[in-house]
Chains A and B, each alone.
Chain A
Amino acid sequence: MNPSSTSSTREREETGLPMVPEAAEPVEEHKTSTSAVFTIRDLSVYYGGNIALKDVSLDIRPREITAIIGPSGCGKSTFIRCLNRMNDLIPGATVTGEVLYHGQNIYAPDVDPVAVRRRIGMVFQRPNPFPKSVYDNIAFGPRINGFKGNLDELVENSLRAAALWEEVKDKLKKSALNLSGGQQQRLCIARAIAVEPDVILMDEPASALDPIATVRIEDLMQELKKQYAIIIVTHNMQQAARVSERTAFLYTEVDEETSNRWGILVEHGETGLIFTRPKDKRTEDYVSGRFG
């Protein structure tokens, strides 16, 4: 345990990422706070030599839910995976442009992607609990990060924050694979919370769930946004309209000659405006259900 803990603290200092702001800030402050969690400038992604996402510029604010919508293949998942450097794991993927996290470019050469992922949590499309006990699933992140405090307490708090504690408190030692799909997804959210990030990325977190489980996840997001910035990719427009403060619409552009396709950011803004008074014709067509 000890060697990993010392190395993790060392990495934090070396990479110099700004420390996560304390969770218990006054609630009033978040309404006036405009300092962006992410400032994304001219972000492009290439797979092999092919462009997949082109020149996206966007700000993500703290304690808000930002929804990323758009038709299939427009690069929504590619985009969100840039924010915690998960694209690094795909062979041949290259990222250009800047992703500033509290002002620091996470793609700067001296930044360790592992340190980035410790600060920015992610929840995937399909629930992916480890084949371990409920407890060990939550404790995984803190343990690898050399957590030294009261682990039982952290596990309980994380499960409470994910609205799962009451359902699993008697089966913490049982396999997480026995939980229902919705419970597994909330477990994955609790697991992400346990490493105390200040952003949670959600890549279509409810697309594999039934409507009741989906509502529970959405309610949970409303609770979580009091503390975290949440970015959610969804192809469900009603969901985007229900849960988010701000919405970004991505769309696929096609090169007529080479038939290459890539995603662009068409527009972004307050969710209400995007859905009622979009500036762009393509956004209007999409949100009014004319395609996609």
Chain B
Amino acid sequence: MNLEINSSRPSARRLWTNRVATAGMAVAVALALIPVGLILYYITKNGLAAMSWGFLTEPTPFTFRRPGGGFLNGLIGTAIMVALATAASVPLGILAAIYLEEYGKRGWLAQLVRFFSDVMTGVPSVFVGLFVYTAFVLPFGFGAIMGAGALAIIMLPIVIRSAEEMLKLVPLELKHASFALGASKSQTVLRVVLPSALPGITTGVLLAVARAAGETAPLILTALGSLKVTTALIGEPISALPLLIFDGARNPFAAGQERAWAGALELLALVLIFTLLARIVAARSKISR
């Protein structure tokens, strides 16, 4: 038997296969990053050119032609609607996930909920907007509550399924440890399972919030959009950043288009800041290593 180390050196063919595969993966990663890079580049470049303090603090002017002004109306609308939608969908979604993973398991009701939340994840958001429009906007009129409702419906299945996956990852040993100490089922879920899954659940919630903050179609049908700065929850239309970006981008006047770029940058920064904040909070709530 040949026991020399170099006798097991890979053949030239295997070396080349390895190199080609590695190069192929590098190219694939680069290709995948190109669109992301371009989006970030153009939004930052054009957005910064149009960004100013006034943009952040002033409402949108009455004509696209007029330069200056900003998206304050949209910023407030987005903040209100995303906050309301989060407040509604996150607790509900986490509770549903706890039911699915800890109580319902493979029962028919749990399977049904799982099936429909999967379907809901795939439903185009404009359908959600149409549903809220016909069910609530027609009788009660456009408003922040309607927009928030549509966003909550979009967020809910994302929160449910991501939270369920995270709860699934909590090791059985931890639950057993808790039960062996005389903890009841609810104590185990609230004090062991949920805290252990919290960092992961936070990630899922962030995903849902980012998705809701960028939704446009359902808001056209529920919040409508407005040039007025308002905090009314019901009774009058309200604007949102994606709505103003959409309006600004599709008009022929340079001033309106510039504001759309700045609005895109504002929305991007908002999502980024929110993500970072939530990550920091999640990391803080975990105990120091």
Contacts and interface: CB of A to CB of B under 8 A. Distances in A.
Contacts of A192: 180-181
Contacts of B196: 130-131
Nearest to A129: B177
A178 B288 CA distance: 10
A114 B62 CA distance: 67
Contacts of A117: 179-182
B195 A132 contact: yes
Interface in A85-144: 86, 89, 114-115, 117-119, 121-122, 124, 126, 128-133, 136, 140-141, 144
Interface in A3-62: 4
B173 A174 contact: no
Interface string B150-189: 0000000000000000000001011111111111100100
A236 B173 CA distance: 22
A157 to B, nearest CB: 17
Contacts of A124: 173, 176-177, 180
Given A86-B179, A131-B286, A177-B289, 7 more contacts: A86-B176, A89-B179, A114-B183, A130-B174, A141-B183, A173-B288, A175-B287
Contact of B288 (A4, A129, A175): A175
A84 interface: yes
Nearest to A134: B287
A141 B184 CA distance: 11
Interface of B: 171, 173-184, 187, 191-192, 195-196, 286-289
Contacts of B289: 174-175, 177-178
B265 to A, nearest CB: 38
Contacts of A126: 173
Contacts of A177: 289
A174 B288 contact: yes
B192 A86 contact: no
B287 A121 contact: no
26 contacts: A86-B176, A114-B184, A115-B182, A117-B179, A122-B180, A124-B180, A126-B173, A128-B171, A128-B173, A128-B176, A130-B178, A131-B174, A131-B195, A132-B195, A133-B287, A140-B191, A140-B192, A141-B181, A141-B182, A144-B187, A145-B182, A174-B288, A174-B289, A178-B289, A191-B181, A195-B182
Contact of A144 (B173, B174, B191, B195): B191
Given A130-B192, A133-B287, A174-B289, A195 B181 contact: yes
Interface in A172-228: 173-175, 177-178, 188, 191-192, 195
A188 B179 CA distance: 13
A109 to B, nearest CB: 18
A173 B184 contact: no
A176 to B, nearest CB: 9
A192 B177 CA distance: 9
A129 B196 CA distance: 12
